[in-house]
Chains A and B, each alone.
Chain A
Amino acid sequence: MKKQTKGKLCTAPNIGSPDDFYESLLAIHEGLGMDESDALNARLILILANHIGDGEVLQEALEAARA
């Protein structure tokens, strides 16, 4: 198993009301075709990435998503 290094990315639960967020995430895609949803997701990633800003956190997040 890969050794868990202590990174800067928060991987502990951090969203206040997980069910509410999840519902909103699905709701925002409602009625959209796949292309529109892909575009929305891309915009969302860019908006969130900018909010995070920190290059190390972003890099860890990219790797976590790909793993």
Chain B
Amino acid sequence: MQKIFETPLYPYKRSEDQDAAKPVRHPVVVIGAGPIGLGAAIDLAQQGVPVVVLDDNDKVSFGSRAICFAKRPLEILDRLGCGDPMVDKGVTWNTGKVFFGERQVYAFNLQAEPEHKRPAFINLQQYYFEQFMVERVRAIQEEGAPVDLRGNNKVTGIKTCDDHVVLDIETPEGTYQIEADWVVACDGAGSPVRSLMGLDFIGRVFEDNFLIADVVMDADFPTERWFWFDPPFNRGQSALLHKQPDGVWRIDLQLGWNIDKEEEKKPENVIPRLTAMLGQDAKFELEWVSIYTFQCRRMEKFRHGRVLFAGDAAHQVSPFGARGANSGLQDTDNLCWKLRLVMDGLAPDTLLDTYDAERVHGADENIMNSSRSTDFITPKSDMSRIFRNATLDLSEKFDFARPLVNSGRLSVPCTYDGSVLNGHDVATMPERTRPGSPAVDANTSEGWLMDRLGGRFQLLAIGTDVPEMLEFDGITVKRVALCDGDCRSPVIANRYLGKETTAVYLLRPDQHVAARWVKFDRDAVEQALKTATANG
């Protein structure tokens, strides 16, 4: 049987543009059909924006890549209409174990907070992730959404002009050009677009190599995350074991810097290591083996005129904490509604500068967290190693030391504190839903709150009157009213009301809070909407 990553999902097909007398102009061109480019395409198309997606390949991701997807991206995927297949296929886990040397120092159970539709995260192979996104593209195409996904269309040149961008594209049938009002560059860590435009990519390369192996195993290992510091089978280094769907296990073995990558990758060298780790009796087959060097870096600016960078093209982090695809989806979540408002003339061009500001802030947060994990896992000095080992030793006996152990901090949603788009706040309301934060889920009488939010500006009304629909300069704001029963729920009180008994929240199309008040006031909402759309 052909595997999903070997199946062309969007094979090359000649486009009319290739026979046009002069380059055809498109409103938006997305470069790259990885998870982030596909996310951008679905988001824009769902808003009715025609979008062309160019990819130099025609298949899903190849090899061992992302496996861990966090709650916030799952919520974004719900808004994009493809959360269910991911969660249905994915593996959910709650227990983690930490080993130091020969011994297990502790186990933890991630007690989920009640009333969230989505779990803290799922494990799912990136190729399934991309497959479900391509299926979603196909489904919305059937419904008439204007997405044109062009496989084997490689961007080889880019020229930026004041009011458009010109792209050179290479196909199996020769080259052609198209023009775009806007380009979203999601062409991955090696971003040819970034290089073609001569842009920087600054940061820190960690001098470390990791052997990443995906093995198919018939084992009754429990569905847990196991992390080893300095294990007997990989002395002085770390190791990670994590379950994926279909009986596939992800194994990360830290190798250190001065190694021969080709040698280490050979099955005769890999298999003994894995046997030492999994036990002599474990029966396994190698699906993939690769060696990665990780880096933490980002572009200085994500916006360059009419070219907007997102995902790995804009920033890269080490994989501890699963922040790559997770943060990339937050990029396009942030970008697409802004781009549409600017394209429709409902917001000034400067709204797109806030994409840069907000997501650079997000990238810096991710880079900081990944760097901290890396510094704990791979101590850079003798003293750093002494403290790391002391922390692990103490964690065996004392609870207090466990939060200090850092084997990767899971990606949590970014709050855009200090963003110029943030409006009025009420200090007596909960901190977690302050302006700039994503809304927090809750169970309501009409379904999950997150399912009722997003895709447009909305006013969430809790225990107080708000008009059903408002319009300000072409932008509509729809009400989402909680019923009396929901307004009295302790979860709503805890997540939205704090010390107040009523609340009105203005939410952005990306489900982030723009402003909040105790009561509805038309003028205040109008002002906050102007602020949230850079309209002054």
Contact = CB atoms under 8 A, between A and B. Distances in A.
B386 A38 contact: yes
A46 B391 contact: yes
Nearest to B401: A46
B221 interface: no
Contacts of B389: 39, 42
Interface string B328-354: 000000000000000000000000000
B380 to A, nearest CB: 16
A47 B393 contact: no
Interface string B386-415: 110111011000101100100000000000
B400 A39 contact: no
Nearest to A51: B400
A39 B386 contact: yes
Contacts of A39: 386, 389-390, 393
B401 to A, nearest CB: 6
A50 interface: yes
B395 to A, nearest CB: 10
B390 A43 contact: yes
Nearest to A35: B386
A50 B262 CA distance: 45
Contacts of B401: 46, 50
Contacts of A38: 386
A40 B387 CA distance: 10
A43 B393 contact: yes
Interface in A1-60: 38-39, 42-43, 45-47, 50
A50 B395 CA distance: 12
A46 B394 CA distance: 9
B400 A50 contact: yes
Interface string B433-460: 0000000000000000000000000000
A5 to B, nearest CB: 27
A42 B390 contact: yes
> Which of B389, B390, B398, B404 has the most C-beta atoms of chain A within 10 angstroms of its own C-beta?
B390
A47 B404 CA distance: 12
Contacts of B387: 42, 45-46
Most chain B Cβ neighbours within 10 Å, of A38, A39, A46, A47:
A46
Contacts of B390: 39, 42-43, 45-46
Contacts of A47: 394, 398, 400
Contacts of A50: 398, 400-401
A42 B381 CA distance: 14
Nearest to B399: A50
Interface string B368-396: 00000000000000000011011101100
B257 to A, nearest CB: 24
A52 B400 CA distance: 12
A30 to B, nearest CB: 19
A46 B404 CA distance: 10
A32 B387 CA distance: 17
B303 to A, nearest CB: 36
A66 B398 CA distance: 28
A16 to B, nearest CB: 24
A43 B400 CA distance: 12
Nearest to B391: A46
Contacts of A43: 390, 393-394
Contacts of B398: 47, 50
25 contacts: A38-B386, A39-B389, A39-B390, A39-B393, A42-B386, A42-B387, A42-B389, A42-B390, A43-B390, A43-B393, A43-B394, A45-B387, A45-B390, A46-B387, A46-B390, A46-B391, A46-B394, A46-B401, A46-B404, A47-B394, A47-B398, A47-B400, A50-B398, A50-B400, A50-B401
Interface of A: 38-39, 42-43, 45-47, 50
Closest 3 CB pairs of A and B: A42-B390, A50-B400, A43-B390
Given A39-B389, A46-B394, 6 more contacts: A38-B386, A39-B393, A42-B389, A43-B393, A46-B390, A47-B394
Interface of B: 386-387, 389-391, 393-394, 398, 400-401, 404
